[in-house]
Homo-oligomer: A and B are copies of this chain.
Amino acid sequence: MKSESVKPAKSVDSIKETLMENYYMFESETIQLAHGNGGALTGHLIRTVFLKKFENQYLYELGDSAILPLDKSALELPNNAQIAFTTDSFVVNPIFFPGGDIGKLAVCGTLNDLAMIGAKPKFLSCGFIIEEGFEIKSLERIVESMQDASKEAEVLFVAGDTKVVEKGSAHKIFINTSGIGFFDNLNQPIKSTIEQGDEILINGTMGDHGIAVLSARDNFGLETTIESDCASLYPLVQALRQNGVEIKFLRDATRGGVATVLNEVAKKFNIGVLIYENLLPISSEVREVCEILGFDPLYIANEGKMIIIVKMGMGDKALEVLRKHPLGKNASKIGSIVDDHPQKVVLETFIKGKRLVDLLVSDQFPRIC
């Protein structure tokens, strides 16, 4: 603490200057470093951008943490003493793309991580890292898209944080979302006990997200009408369960695509995976782009597709339920669990040849999700 005696009195000019500077900052159309300093400008940003969209009773308190109620129905279960917890950061480039943006992605991605283990998504946090100079209009658009996606999924943003970094220290905006999910009578943890004969399904076409993002890049010169499949998959999981389908394994096929998920399954459960090229749903446009660029759609990221493994004999029932739902209208049974080739994923090609589908080491193209 400096003592009063050494503190220079402020001149009227310097006070005017500060006031003008402050006025300028509050009216700024771009993010300033001071938006992240925890002071008046941070409060202004929280009130005018975040709370305006996300407002709810838990967030409203604006304490250091949110205090959240657990579901009564969950607490009455024999296994009541469990919750689901996950985190994911989103660094997609470009931040706006056909079918979505980084905000929608940040909501759906984390909700899907909760849904994939069998939980019902309930609460979300968001952590923004924003580059100085980022347009507040773009931030508002992203926040609106987050609010739309969370509202549709009936989840609440209950905790948040904003950091601003100097220009050049981040690419526009990065978003972390963490999520909490609950279990109840319908939504129980998925046990993941896979055995020979189990059937493998996907809820629709592969590769749409990856190709949509890629073609939205200025430098790619690719013109397509492909849209990201970005979606919250919990409603599909709920539909399967409500219709009595016994789900043995679920995983959304994001980074690394379907091939990566199936390889994880084969290795984790020490079984073989056999899929059929003629059963893989791929839109003709994605197929075309992949042929031109030499990509394999099996490795391309999705944001609204999951691999579903069900008990032998349950595949047709699952397919019927999936196809009735907008998010599963192009669902397909793509293969099954086999005793042959444990730890390996094998593709039977159109011409009945067999090809090993290995784990991706280097990327097909720059990271996009």
Contacts and interface: CB of A to CB of B under 8 A. Distances in A.
A361 B34 contact: yes
Interface stretch (A61-69, A195-203, A216-224): A61-69
A117 B189 CA distance: 30
A220 to B, nearest CB: 15
A176 B1 contact: no
A2 to B, nearest CB: 6
A337 B366 CA distance: 56
Contacts of A168: 168
B81 A277 contact: no
A308 to B, nearest CB: 13
Contacts of A18: 361-362
A193 interface: no
Per assembly, the copies of the chain total 2
A41 B81 contact: no
A84 interface: yes
Contacts of A84: 65-68
Contacts of A114: 64-65
A367 B65 contact: no
Given A38-B260, A362-B25, A65 B176 contact: no
Interface stretch (A140-148, A311-319, A347-355): A347-355
A45 interface: no
Interface string A212-255: 00000000000000000000000000000000000000011011
Given A91-B129, A363-B37, A85 B64 contact: no
A351 B4 contact: yes
Interface in A81-128: 81-91, 93, 112-114, 116-117, 119, 123, 125-128
A237 B66 CA distance: 18
A343 to B, nearest CB: 13
A171 interface: yes
B33 A159 contact: no
Interface in A9-44: 18, 21-22, 25, 33-34, 36-43
Given A355-B4, A359-B39, A87 B125 contact: yes
A127 B80 CA distance: 28
Given A21-B362, A86-B125, A65 B349 contact: no
B67 A82 contact: yes
Which of A86, A128, A350 has the largest count of B CB atoms less than 10 A from its CB? A86
A50 interface: no
A304 interface: no
A64 B112 contact: yes
Nearest to A353: B4
A282 interface: yes
Interface in A164-200: 164-166, 168-171, 174, 176, 178-181, 189, 192
Given A63-B116, A166-B367, A170-B174, 10 more contacts: A3-B349, A3-B351, A41-B362, A64-B114, A65-B84, A65-B181, A67-B84, A71-B81, A89-B128, A159-B178
